[in-house]
Structure 1
């Protein structure tokens, strides 16, 4: 803070000297021309202007040296002016003004040189007048001359005292700031240490409650344990916020750049958001398919930026929903990745909006719903966006919602698009989606925009209908390959839509708790309805369902799940245990290598993109360790573009499953890769409410 303040004052002094020099040089040129002074000084005065401007712009030479150069030129011009004016009395105002300008540098040497040079010019003027035309010895003229000489001395003493007082006050303030910064740092260090100490037992509570939930059969006790785990997760989130805020406050942020895929970031974000999203609110994620598939930035901070924006929007919205638009703008260095997050929440007043832009302002220190929708999280977002080289703007009106715009520069690693379908010309999509069912007009607009961008971005045809009669006409008039249906729309004619699912791939878009009837062949896509899960569906066919009509069990199969997101590991354990597998987990690529060295596994489900060592590097190490020994490694990736399977197989993975994981695709891959003796086919199908996992 001290350095910033000092640099601002020095910049002001530099600018003042340059402006004064330009003005004084211009005046001298005019006086030379009109009063016929020495013509040879005109080029020198003119040349001084561009030279000093250039030095000021390029900031060379060093600051202190530039100040002396500007001051030296002004001193020479002052002497020239004082020695050429008509009377000595014209010198005094100029000398005093220049002394005031010199005082801004807080350099006493320059100020006293100004007094000396001013006197020298005045005395030279008197001497020149004495030898050329003689001095006017009138008493009043002598008194005026002495008075003007005294004025320069008095002005010099006042300015000298001013410099002394300003310097002393500045030092006093700097000392106080240093003390306050030390106290703030101590408080932040204490807060960070306490947070670290609390995090350890909280992690134990979360982990042990998760283990107990898996073992407990009693429904009531399970609910209590889940409540404990959810409370622990909330505390862990608050601790994480405190640590992030402390790092920002102490200006101790480090940027750890790594390659990442936007699809993976959004998959993790959706899994984190689902538990906190109220069913009555809609979350719409609209992604431009033209965004590059692999970029480079601090992905951890990028995830937290999105998390805080969406979580704040949901928290302070009572009806309607949150709209997240993600797009990119090409630049010479790569792209600017842009986020636009809108909500239909309570918004902010102009006063709150003005104050929220302050770096550490907490718009709602009580963290209640009674004020604005942005609290501590927004300070974290602001700090992270700044350290990543981006910028943020906020628009909000009370009771009209809030819109946050963020742009962050990104390096492009793989410029190929982040989304594509294998055979777009062969797809004929239908959508039975009646957006008028949403009471909030903004939500209707959000869904329309998202659907339009998916269709235009992927270059596929989609025929949208909003009544069952129009759906019947659509099906009879053309051969659809896929049909997307909303939950309310499905309920208008469930038998007819179930019959359609035998011929075309029908996807139901609904909340987690929606249940399809037993035996249904309809795929269920968990909300939020957004592009990346749609890609996985569009690259599937109805024929794929035939391979998994029976219930698949893999009793005793030893599986290792590798993922850096704890939520993904928790959900994955629940899913794979349902197949009868013995499941272990690893939270990093390095940990997966160590576990594969220490244990024998039949199959490894490897997250593709992870911080530090990613799934590709971990697979290579595991393959080297295993030698000729067989081990099935299936990639879990949110990148469902064409060529992904070929790329992953080249690095040693057997296959891949797109995130969010579809149970039908999962069963298909398990049948393909596990030995027949490890697979047991049973009657019936897995529970439809779990037909898709993150």
Structure 2
């Protein structure tokens, strides 16, 4: 009973609703608020209209007053009567709005000028804000029968407050009426809403408050009279339905509680059994974690072993490669028969390809370790593409035409990492040459917004669409038979894809089986130097080549831009020998037919390694030979020499790179006899004086006895290696400015940091080229230094 009384007390509290919280008040408040806002807006609109009317009436009334005073004022000005003028202006001043009146003749003489002070009131500032403080009016005086004769002026100053006060009074009345209407409306609506809504709802709330929630099957609620079909009636019906549902739900819950008690007892037994199982699983998981930790430790050991193996293999492979390529390069600098020179050049190019393959393997390991670093230096990408294509042309099939097509507006130099860009070019071109046996392979280089686009197109076997996503994975090719038929490691495209991604670029592929492939690499390389046009040439050049060939496309693009008149011929029948200064062709069979009738020089474009022997060259003289792919500079220089009447050079001749004798005194620290010969031979060709030390301790003794400009330090030597020798040189403090350059066959990424930590200034990986050695000497031993 006590609980029931408490609940009933709570129910009676629900009926004690504050006036401001009742629905009738809220509805009346919202309705009146909307009505007040709308009434206020309408009152403001009415006041605005009244304001515009009052503002116009000021000017209209004063203009009417001027119109009435015009004829008398004109006669007074005509007669120059000051007394009448004073009388007229004083009469005008009787108007409440006029505070000054002045009458003057046509000579500017004032006949009368009267004024009075302005009216003062607390609302004057508001009136002045709306209508202005005062207004001036002026009327030009003339007689009606003499409108063109100017007699004088009637000037009036108007105090707008006389009009403004009248407007403010009307505006106040309008606003007060609107507010009063809102108050009356509020009372009426409040009473109506109370009778129609609040009172019946209070009755329903009272009935609900008197019910016991534990006995939902009590008497049904009665609907207030007159509300059986409206929302209140629906509310009562829904409440009665809910009471029935609640009674049913209470019964169901009691049954559910009984069943739940039974389930809880069963669950306790199940949890006990599961706990025992989890303990056993935790013990098994603990053993698995220990096994995983041991596997992780073994994997780390294997990764370190692989890194050490790669470093050791790099050193062991690069050391003999350095000796082989260095000796071949030295041999190519000596006078040789053309056949031997060609053989050595092919061997030298093959060694370079082997170095590129070794670099691909090492770079792939750098990607796996996240240790790849990119340079940001200027380099000539066009020349680099041509050099790379020339190097890889040895892999071109005899029936494949390799062409480098570089846009004439391509920059002379761009900013980026030349080594990584060269790898991208080399890998894409090697891939195209490997899978193309007939047709063309083109390397196209163009500028795009924000960078460059490198395209390699071929007419090879093509790649099926389902295999295009797999070819960028390491050691995977398009099909199982590809490796057996064409060879290859499957590293090139995977490395190229990673390099493009590392340089913030993108690599695209467009390929159809049987129709060839097109790989496009878009790289964000900024322009460092714009394209530089060569000096124009003069002459008439003809070509015997197939329509649509790479040679014709190249010549058609370059020769007119160099100032040369160019025509292509399908056959010698249409060729006018007297009208040309040079014939370019890649058809050797036609030369022996043409030469008796053709006296002009001939430029023969041959495949890699197919230069004519000396006796045939003499028979076809004057004959110039260039290997495909044609490089822009080589073609330009050959055309310039030919058109100026110079003798042809040997196609394999290489310009000598020499420095003045005594250019630099260099201490070479190297234990390998072959590498000693290579380095000494290259340095001698560069005009340097070289002294040799076979290990680090001997190098320290020689530094004590003599002065050197540069130390070339091998890293791996017996007794004292290059790292220890460099540390001792730096610790002694006697040679603080002596540059030390590391010569090492270890091309792993951590080797460079290890050399710098030992005190070395620079790093040169074996096998190195004479040009790289020259660049080091120029950097560390300046000519004027």
Which structure would you say has the larger Rg?
Answer: 2
Superposition TM-score, scaled by structure 2 size = 0.44
Superposition TM-score, scaled by structure 1 size = 0.49
